[in-house]
Amino acid sequence: MTLLDVENLSKRYTSGGRAVTALDGVSLTLSAGETLGLAGASGSGKSTLARVLTRLVPADGGAVRFGGEDWLALSGGRLRRRRAKMQMVFQDVLGAFNPRATVASVIADPLRIHAVVPRAEREREVAALLDRVGLPASYGARSIRDVSGGQRQRIAIARAIASRPALIVLDEAVSALDVSLREKILELLVALQEERGIAYLFVSHDLAVLAAVSHRIAVMEAGRIVETGPAARVIGDPQSSAARALVRAVPRLLIEQENRNGV
Ligand SMILES: Nc1ncnc2c1ncn2[C@@H]1O[C@H](COP(=O)(O)OP(=O)(O)OP(=O)(O)O)[C@@H](O)[C@H]1O
Ligand SMILES: [Mg+2]
């Protein structure tokens, strides 16, 4: 079942009198429960696509259908309600919060806004969400400035799944973490997807990260998607120069590719 259908999205920025075409006719689809990895060099437009889809910045043109609705036409209360179904985890999502906010309040926000559970059950639900992302319930009382980078991403994930979304857009969600932490967070995301059928649009400049989680990979270059295919095919037999350059940037993938091809 198609969950997200993006057609011909465009976005230009003008800064200092210079126009930059960040999205130049981007089309893609995403099925329920699927992970689409979005790769591309720095400046290729990945974050712009993530921000347009999550309605943080407006598109200039194109259409987005999400769960059968005209997603870009939603506004006001309807948009606020529907946001429950499309959540996001960015590199440092919690950095935008008041650093004194408690972990529990950050996770309880979407429970309250979207009335996910009755008020009397909110505290228990926060504890269950903390537990699910691998943190003790006692962390609820901490302020978010007093948790580590890996824990912050776990909290961001708990917040993102709180409203029971169908899609989570992740933009460089594990890029700031060291390798062993990164692997644990990726495992958590995969387990959550299996349990809850959540689809991910997983943005990363690092093909090794995308290789670990993606069913399909799309590669962006200069605001366009230049290649899309099953993850193993895009990594094992990249067709575009942009995809080949990304594979070359990850020695381990290159070695796997050579082994597979018997070089
Ligand atoms: N707010 C903005 N104002 C002006 N130009 C912008 C703005 N945001 C992004 N751009 C430009 O749009 C293009 C795409 O940027 P974007 O952040 O989407 O790339 P990206 O693929 O996410 O890169 P990275 O891998 O470095 O995060 C770049 O040329 C960037 O300089
Ligand atoms: Mg980016």
Domains of the chain: 2-260 (3.40.50.300)
| Distance from Cα 45 to the centre of ligand 2, integer Å | 7
The pLDDT of 20-31, averaged and rounded, is 98
Are the beta carbons of 158 and 196 closer than 8 angstroms? no
Phi, psi of 39 (to 5 degrees): -110, 170
Q: How far apart are CA 126 and CA 70, in angstroms?
A: 32
pLDDT number for residue 54: 97
> Furthest-apart CA pair in the chain: how many Å?
62
Each residue of 93-139: pLDDT tens digit?
888 888 899 999 999 999 999 999 999 999 999 999 999 999 999 99
**How, if at all, do strands 167-171 and 86-90 pair?**
parallel
Each residue of 37-91: pLDDT tens digit?
999 999 999 999 999 999 999 999 999 999 999 999 999 999 999 999 999 999 8
Find the residues whose C-beta lies inside 6 A of ligand 1.
Answer: 13, 15, 20, 22, 40, 42-48, 205
pLDDT number for residue 92: 82
Are the beta carbons of 2 and 30 closer than 8 angstroms? yes
Better-scored residue on pLDDT, 239 or 1:
239
HSE on the CB side for 225, CA within 13 Å? Answer: 23
pLDDT number for residue 94: 82
Number of Cβ within 10 Å of residue 164's Cβ equals 13
Coil, strand, or helix at residue 243? helix
| Composition of the chain by helix, strand, coil, percent to 5 | 45, 25, 25
Q: How far apart are CA 89 and CA 148, in angstroms?
A: 16
The pLDDT of 22-47, averaged and rounded, is 97
Output the residue whose Cα is nearest ligand 1's atom 30: 43
Q: Which atom of ligand 1 is nearest to the CA of 15?
A: 4
Better-scored residue on pLDDT, 98 or 189:
189
Range name among 148-157, 188-197, 252-261 with the lowest pLDDT average: 252-261
